[in-house]
Structure 1
């Protein structure tokens, strides 16, 4: 009996160690940057999320992506406004070309696939994915407002 339980316990212990290493998805309590009012707008292609940054340690922190309204999108630094990060979520445009010839439909962009956030969030919240000192981290953005 003892000969079988020792390897079983050792196996469970090793599994527990590996499981705890893989689930290191904790929300950070401290913001990786100072943000102004975060807002989103609807346009002909979908949703555009605007994240204005007041201050960020660019040599240590890199804003990567964001989960919002059931989708995930990369964050892109605006060329016009250096302190603005934008995420675009395609919901399918109304300008689809439908034709008997499939080659004419080539330019159609499909809607973005849903992607579940690693954390539960409300309608006015988003999960910011960022790297700090080359470590992947998450931060919950709250109070996001819709603008016209």
Structure 2
């Protein structure tokens, strides 16, 4: 009977400890960031050629940034991408959507499938965001942090023209 009580007590302690350890893995958003962020906006685009694809670019203008902060990636519309620094004052996140699937070779000959590329794994957002919100991922003094940006403006989409036909 004493052994049974000890087992139940240990089980309860283990369950409670595990439930508290999961709280530490939740991503915490920062209230402030040592970066002066301008007006963030996004713009969808469509390529003018058949297999050019489409996507969304999110533009994050930076007016002034602490040297200790390195902007890394952005989560927007349930996806995450690495940020691209086009100049010291502008970061762009490029979310592209492929319109066609690549050709893959399926055969019973082992070396015939050599040129196939591994499928890309989708990087879903761990954040529950509204239509006009994104989360900026950055490192400050080597520690990963997250900051939510709200009020993102939607600009008119860009429809790139198709390539001109060759006239003989």
Tell me if structure 1 keeps the 8 A contact 2:78–2:129. Answer: no
The yes-or-no answer on 1:5 pairing with 2:40 is no
- Matches of 2:79 and 2:123 in 1, distance apart? 5
Aligned positions of 1:70-89 closer than 5 A: 70-78=78-86, 81-89=87-95
Structure 1 residue 114: Cα displacement: 6.1
Larger radius of gyration: 2
Residue of structure 2 equivalent to 1:26: 28
Tell me if structure 1 keeps the 8 A contact 2:78–2:127. Answer: no
**How many pairs does the alignment contain?**
134
Structure 1 residue 137: Cα displacement: 1.3
Aligned positions of 1:43-54 closer than 5 A: 43=45, 44=47, 45-54=54-63
TM-score (structure 1 length as normaliser) = 0.75
SS in 2 for 1:18: helix
Q: Which runs of 4+ in 1 moved over 4 A?
A: 96-99
SS in 1 for 2:11: helix
Tell me if structure 2 keeps the 8 A contact 1:41–1:146. Answer: yes
* Structure 2: 5+ residue stretches without partners: 48-53, 106-114, 157-168
- Matches of 1:6 and 1:41 in 2, distance apart? 57
The yes-or-no answer on 1:92 pairing with 2:98 is yes
For residues 20-58 of structure 1, the C-alpha deviation after alignment (integer angstroms, 9 at most, x for no partner) is 3322x1111113411111111222331111101011112
The yes-or-no answer on 1:133 pairing with 2:141 is yes
Out of 106, 121, 124, the position equivalent to 2:132 is 124
Structure 1 residue 112: Cα displacement: 8.5
* Structure 1: 5+ residue stretches without partners: none
Change (3 A) 1:30 1:72: same
